Amino acid sequence: MERKCGNKKARVEEPLLLLPNVQVKQEVPDGGEGAVVVADGAPGNGNQAPIHGTFDPTVLHCPVCSDRLRPPVFKCAAGLHKACISCQGKLPGKRCHSCDHGTGGGAYVRCHLMDDVVCSFRVQCAHHQHGCTSYVAYFEAPDHESACPRAPCSCTEPGCGVVASPPNLLGHLVSAHSWPVHGIRYRTDLSLGVRASEPRVLLVTAEEDGGVFLLSLGTFGSAMAVSVVCLRANGGAGQQYGLKLWAHGSGGRAVMLNTDVTSSAAPGNVDVDADDFLTVPPTMMTGPDKEMVLTVCIDEAGAA
């Protein structure tokens, strides 16, 4: 059902255009916990201290589709009602969704002042408790948070339940669970001796972007499955990675896997149904602990 924006609501919007550096508490429509919203303020007034307060979030949403408003924002010819670019184009004759029947509002036009408002109001990333320090425009927050490198991941050790950002979970896995960790560099081979009794090895590009990867071993019949996943909550966003993985046997024999690196927010065992993995035959293992010699090389395959 469309929400009617009357004259009173329009007057609420206008004074905010004049407030410099406003930091306000947002009241979330679904009744959830409010988010801090920061307004950069009007140009030329940037030196004033932030102001804390409350703010009606409907001002920052399209009253037709309820999506977050982003530039360009449109207003009806009467100047009373706003709409996003999608809705203003869909409305019959581009007439106002609220006042075309009564007051003859006319076609929508750009509202540059509302562009300033929606660009100025910034919210703290929802993952700030996990170390993200970003403030982003309110309309950009969902995109940021879905790609935020601090989005939390889970420890999969039985009974643990720790949830933390990838760099903090890395520290936890090493300190609390003694998972071994090796530094790697992208596009550089790392030789690694692994064994079945130590089925998880963390790989970290500490000198580059701090990417955290987990090499896991699992049984696959009489063979061993070896996989590498990236520890992060949003594998579809941002940097993508490629993997080359070799297992070496005697006499120069080797098996190799060349694939993309998948991501996991809760990495643990090899998932033979979901992950690409290298199958290492028993002839390439030595001793009762199935020791193997691997070479791993991860490269940045390009941004998504």
Exactly one of 35, 80, 280, 294 binds Zn ion (CB under 5 A); that residue is 80
Looking at residues 90 to 149 of the shown chain, list those that interact with Zn ion (rule: CB under 5 A).
96, 98-99, 105, 125, 127, 132, 134, 148
Write out the DSSP string of 274-302: TS--EEE-GGG-BTTTTBEEEEEEEEEEE
Q: Count other C-beta atoms under 10 Å from residue 62's C-beta.
A: 22
Please tell me whether residue 233 binds Zn ion under the rule CB under 5 A. no
Q: How far is the C-alpha of 163 from the C-alpha of 128, rounded, in Å? A: 14
Exactly one of 12, 28, 160, 254 binds Zn ion (CB under 5 A); that residue is 160
The CA radius of gyration of the chain, in Å to the nearest whole number, is 27
The count of residues interacting with Zn ion (CB under 5 A) is: 22
In this complex, which beta carbon is closest to Zn ion, that of residue 21 or of residue 234?
234
263 φ, ψ to 5°? -120, 155
In this complex, which beta carbon is closest to Zn ion, that of residue 4 or of residue 187?
4
Q: Where are the beta strands (DSSP E) in the chain?
A: 23-26, 35-39, 54-55, 74-75, 82-83, 109-110, 121-124, 135-137, 153-154, 163-164, 181-183, 190-194, 200-204, 212-220, 223-231, 239-248, 254-260, 262-264, 278-280, 292-303
46's tokens: 């940037």
In this complex, which beta carbon is closest to Zn ion, that of residue 162 or of residue 297?
162
Looking at residues 4 to 63 of the shown chain, list those that interact with Zn ion (rule: CB under 5 A).
62
Q: What's the closest the beta carbon of residue 140 comes to Zn ion, in angstroms?
A: 11
**CA distances (Å), 245 to each of 7, 25, 223, 267, 269, in order?**
65, 50, 16, 18, 17
Q: How far is the C-alpha of 119 from the C-alpha of 230, rounded, in Å? A: 33
Q: How far is the C-alpha of 259 from the C-alpha of 268, rounded, in Å? A: 19
In this complex, which beta carbon is closest to Zn ion, that of residue 21 or of residue 134?
134
Q: What's the closest the beta carbon of residue 39 comes to Zn ion, in angstroms?
A: 19
Read off the amino acid at residue 296.
V
Q: What's the closest the beta carbon of residue 45 comes to Zn ion, in angstroms?
A: 27
Exactly one of 140, 157, 299, 300 binds Zn ion (CB under 5 A); that residue is 157
Please tell me whether residue 64 binds Zn ion under the rule CB under 5 A. yes
Q: What's the closest the beta carbon of residue 86 comes to Zn ion, in angstroms?
A: 5
Exactly one of 155, 170, 184, 204 binds Zn ion (CB under 5 A); that residue is 155
In this complex, which beta carbon is closest to Zn ion, that of residue 64 or of residue 202?
64
Q: What's the closest the beta carbon of residue 48 comes to Zn ion, in angstroms?
A: 27
Q: What's the closest the beta carbon of residue 269 comes to Zn ion, in angstroms?
A: 15
Would you tell me which residues interact with Zn ion (CB under 5 A)?
A: 62, 64-65, 76, 78, 80-81, 84, 87, 96, 98-99, 105, 125, 127, 132, 134, 148, 155, 157, 160, 162
